[in-house]
Amino acid sequence: MPLVTSKELLLAALEGRYAIGAFNANNMEQVQGIVDAAVEEKAPVILQVSQGAIRYAGLETAAGLVKIAASEANVPVVLHLDHGTDVEQNVRCLRAGFTSLMFDGSKKSYEENVATTAKVAQIAHWCNIPVEAELGRVLQSTDGVTEADVRAAMTDPDQALDFCTRTTCDSLAVAVGSVHAMQQAAANLDIERIKAIRAKVSVPFVLHGSSGVTEESEVEAIGYGIAKINVATLLNVAFTQALIKSIEAQPGNVDPRKFLLGSREAVKEVVRHKIRLFGSAGIVNSSGGLISPKTSHRSAHLGGAEE
C-alpha cells in the first residue's frame, strides 16, 4: 500500500482504546523486521526516523527504505519524523514524502514552542499532513535525571489546553513519567496526570520513552488516551544482542547477511510483542482498511478505561 498519514490511524486508536506502535528504524533490517511483524499481526504501524537515523542513513535514504517496505505491505504504514528540530527540517520531510511530522520545541521557551509548532502545523496542514508536538519534557536517561527532574518537566494540563488551541497540533507528546533511552522497564506513568490532561485536551496523546515504562502502566495509559507509543531503545537492545550472539556463534564467517538475519528476526519479535500488548493486532482487514472498534471489541480487554 502507499503510505498513509497518522491522522486517521490515531483517531481510530483513540476511539477504539488501543495504541499504534511507532517504531524507530535506522537500517534496512530494522525496517523489514518492523513491517514484517505488522503484516503478520494485521496491525497498522508507524515507522519513525529519528535525528540519529537522519545523521546515520541520510533523510532521503531513511525515507526511501520505509516507502518501499510500505509499498510491499498490505497494512497501513506511516512514515513519521521523530523529534523534528525546526521548520526547515519539517519542510524537507514534507518534500521527502513523510506522512506525519513532529516539531519538538520542548527545550525552547513556551511562547517559542507555541509559535514554531503553529507554523509547522500551518504548513503541514496545507499538505494534509498531521503534526505531533511536545509539551513538558521527556528527559534523556543519559543526562543523569532524578525523579524530581522528571516530575518538574511534566506536562501541565491547563497549559496543554492553551498549547493545543493555539498550535492546532494533531497529537501531543506528553511528559507523564517516562524517560528516553532507558534499558530497563521500571517506571510507572502518572495516570492521574494523563487523566487531568485528557479532561482539557481532545487530541491523541503520544508516549515517548516507553522502553523504561512497565507494561502494566503502558496498557493502563492506553485507556486514558495514549494512542501512539514510541519504541526505540528496546529494538536497539534486541538487534545488538542478537548480533553479538550471531557473531560469537559463527567464527570465520565474513558474510554480514548471516549475522544480520538474527537481528532482523529479533526486532520482529519485539515489535510483534508490543503490537499485541498495545491492542492493535488484528485491526487491519484483508483489503488494508481498519476494522471498526465497535466490532473489534478492543475496549473490553482494556478494562477500567472511562471517558
| Residues near Zn ion (CB under 5 A) | 208
Using CA atoms, how far apart are residues 189 and 13, in angstroms rounded to an integer? 20
Closest distance of CB 230 from Zn ion, Å: 5
Closest distance of CB 6 from Zn ion, Å: 15
Contacts of 270 (CB under 8 A, 6+ apart): 231, 234, 235, 238
Helix axis angle, 191-198 relative to 215-222, nearest 10°? 20
Taken in order 296, 197, 22, 98, the sign of the CA dihedral is positive
Contacts of 42 (CB under 8 A, 6+ apart): 75, 281, 282, 283, 284, 285
Residue number, 179 or 201, with CB nearest to Zn ion? 179
Beta bridge partners of 209: none
Q: Which residue is nearest to Zn ion (CB)?
A: 208
Residue number, 198 or 208, with CB nearest to Zn ion? 208
Closest distance of CB 48 from Zn ion, Å: 9
C-alpha cell at 10: 490515531
**How far is C-alpha 164 from the geometric centre of its chain's CA atoms?**
19
Closest distance of CB 246 from Zn ion, Å: 29
Closest distance of CB 13 from Zn ion, Å: 18
Residue number, 36 or 132, with CB nearest to Zn ion? 132
Question: Is 82 annotated as catalytic?
Answer: yes
Q: Alpha carbon of 189 to those of 75, 98, 192, 195, 236: distances in Å?
A: 30, 30, 9, 11, 23
Residue number, 50 or 296, with CB nearest to Zn ion? 50
Which residue out of 36, 82, 104, 170 is catalytically annotated?
82
Residue number, 141 or 188, with CB nearest to Zn ion? 141
Q: What is the DSSP letter of 100?
A: B
User: Active-site residue numbers?
Assistant: 82
